[in-house]
Amino acid sequence: MPFNLGMSELLVILAIVLVVFGAKRLPEIGAAMGKGIREFKRSLTEVRESIESADEPPRRLESGETTGGDPKKLTDKSATET
């Protein structure tokens, strides 16, 4: 059992929770806790993936590869306005 709690201790905790929150609220509380745990695990997975992708070295272009477009030409605004 977690935290070295026996069956009797768990029953006492469950009885106290039942008295404090009531029988109608327990399923709502359980669903909210489940959603919270799922969201926490999902965010941990996203952080782990972003860290792992950041550890990879950046990909370099080979001599024959292109970046997918022509470079843009910069124009001097002052030269065109006169």
pLDDT digits (tens, 9 = 90+) for 9-63: 989 998 999 999 888 898 999 999 999 999 999 999 999 988 888 776 666 766 6
* CA–CA distance, 38 with 44 (Å, rounded to integer): 10
41 belongs to a structural domain:
yes
Please enumerate in sequence order all residues whose Cβ is within 8 A of that of 67, keeping only pairs 6 or more positions apart, or say none.
61
Report the domain count for the chain: 1
The answer on pLDDT for 5 being more than 50 is: yes
81 belongs to a structural domain:
no
Rg, C-alpha atoms of the chain: 30
- pTM, full prediction: 0.49
The answer on pLDDT for 75 being more than 90 is: no
50 belongs to a structural domain:
yes
Which domain covers residue 48, as residue numbers? 24-55
Q: What is the pLDDT of residue 52?
A: 82
30 belongs to a structural domain:
yes
The answer on pLDDT for 82 being more than 60 is: no
| CA dist list (Å): 18 to 15, 25, 31, 71, 75 | 5, 9, 16, 68, 73
9 belongs to a structural domain:
no
28 belongs to a structural domain:
yes
